[in-house]
Structure 1
């Protein structure tokens, strides 16, 4: 084999290797995009670089793989579903209380499924691996819950918070709900009641 043939062989091998790496790289990226969905787009928009975000998302997958997640038995599913119905039924009488109870029930369900519940950011990162498509609802609910604690949330915002909590709740419970956040059956109060609820003096 002449020197020219050797050089051409090396070039061909390098091209094949580069193509293989490119295909592998694109495949890994698409796998992340499919798994994390809107969470991938959100992380890229807020991150320093796409590559750094993808490393962080893979780290989330690694941490998630170490969890001992548990499926609920039928009795637990029934109990949680009944508790949720009670929260929705109490909304008209105590919207802010319903939001607090919804947050507490979702947190309890997260813990029972085996997810961490101590740090909110860690909790969201871990949930994103399997529940990325409902995580935006959880973030919105968490934000409104913070407004409610400061007495700054309107009744309509509180209603939306319960609806958002229910979206993640249904995903964790493994149930399908046909309603969208705009048509879900959390009761609406009168427009005249849609003012911030001061909860600063409540226990």
Structure 2
């Protein structure tokens, strides 16, 4: 075999290996995008490189796999549904208290499902693996809840917070938290007295318009 043919074979092998590596990387990237949805773009935007971002997401998957997640019993689901209905009723007279209760109720549900609830960032990271599509709701609700503690949230902000909490709450619960035979209809949102808001439609019952238009 001539030296020239040897070089050609080496080049061919290198090209094949590179193609395989590229295909593997593309497949893993596609899987991460499917798993994390809009969270993938957020992590990539915050990281120094796409490689670093994807490493972070794979680490999240590993930590998530180590959790002992538990399905809720029918009794627990019913109990949480009733508790959520009470939060929505409470909102009419005490919106700030209702939002605080919604935060506590959501945190309790997160814990009962088996997710960590200590550090907020760790909580978001582990939730992002299986609940990425409602995670932005939780971020927005948490941000409004923080502003509410300092008196910087309007009544409409608080209503939006409850809508956002409800999105993750329903996702974790596995069903609509407001029962049709309960105190509110399935699509109900917390009501805000007319004199406190103007010209606002209730078109965000189960979805959130976000920056990426997902």
Same fold (TM over 0.5): yes
Are residue 120 (structure 1) and residue 120 (structure 2) matched?
yes
Moved over 3 A (4+): 191-194
Aligned to 1:174: 174
Measured after TM superposition, the shift of residue 173 of structure 1 is: 0.4
Aligned to 1:186: 190
**Residues 79-158 of structure 1 mapped to structure 2, 5 A cutoff:** 79-158=79-158
121-130 or 41-50, larger mean C-alpha shift: 41-50
Q: Is the 8 A contact 2:99 2:158 kept in 1?
A: yes
54-63 or 38-47, larger mean C-alpha shift: 38-47
**TM-score, normalised relative to structure 2:** 0.85
Q: Which runs of 5+ in 2 are unaligned?
A: 178-186, 199-214
Q: Is the 8 A contact 1:159 1:186 kept in 2?
A: yes
* Number of matched pairs: 190
Measured after TM superposition, the shift of residue 154 of structure 1 is: 0.3
Q: CA offsets, 1:122-174, max 9 Å, x none?
A: 00011000000000000000000001000111000000000000000000001
Measured after TM superposition, the shift of residue 190 of structure 1 is: 2.3
Q: Distance in 1 between matches of 2:25 and 2:188?
A: 41
Q: Is the 8 A contact 1:163 1:184 kept in 2?
A: no
Q: CA offsets, 1:47-87, max 9 Å, x none?
A: 21111111111111110010000000111001001100110
Q: Is the 8 A contact 1:72 1:173 kept in 2?
A: yes
**TM-score, normalised relative to structure 1:** 0.89
**Aligned-pair Cα RMSD in Å:** 1.7
Measured after TM superposition, the shift of residue 184 of structure 1 is: 4.9
Aligned to 2:58: 58
Q: Which runs of 5+ in 1 are unaligned?
A: 178-182, 195-203
Q: Distance in 2 between matches of 1:116 and 1:7?
A: 55
